[in-house]
Amino acid sequence: MRVREALETLENELDNAKQVPLSGGKVVVNLDQFRDLLREIKNNFDDETREAEKVVRDRSTIINNARSEANVIIKKAEERASLMVSEEVITKQAQARANEMLTTAQTKSNEIRKATNEYVERMLVRMDELLSNNLANVRKTRETLKNNP
């Protein structure tokens, strides 16, 4: 059960709990069930947090791989250009090709970085929304429990 589902179950249990007569709004709940749900929330909350951290780590890996790939392409372009120094025409062609490869590599690297950042941003926004909603539900449940001891 996900955190949101467990919180909704807690909320439903509180909403459907029988009131104790003359107690000022206090209700009777199944303590074992509530503890089980709270334990499940805690466990799933940790899992969802780890998932968000993994997304951030994956973003770094993708960016580092893109940088490495771009550096390999640049190095190959530079090596190829240095081997073609023998004649002026060949040298000019090599420099033009190396610059073209460098531009292509930088463009590809920028595209990969941009796509990665957009993906990670979407995932982080999603996780932020989930965690914010979950935290709000936990606070609401705690407040309800606090006001109905």
**What ranges do the domains of the chain cover?**
3-147
pTM of the full predicted structure? 0.36
Outline where DSSP puts E strands in 3-140: 18-19, 27-28
What's the pLDDT at 128? Answer: 92
State the pLDDT confidence band at 106, using cuts at 50, 70 and 90.
Answer: very high
State the pLDDT confidence band at 99, using cuts at 50, 70 and 90.
Answer: very high
Tokens 């199944």 label which residue? 30
State the pLDDT confidence band at 71, using cuts at 50, 70 and 90.
Answer: very high
DSSP code at position 28: E
First to last CA, the chain: 26
Alpha carbon separation from 57 to 3, 95, 124, 145 (Å, rounded): 23, 37, 12, 37
- Cβ atoms of residues 13 and 29 within 8 Å: yes
The more confident residue out of 101 and 19 is 101
- CA dist 100 and 77 (Å) reads 9
What's the pLDDT at 13? Answer: 86
What's the pLDDT at 80? Answer: 77
State the pLDDT confidence band at 103, using cuts at 50, 70 and 90.
Answer: very high
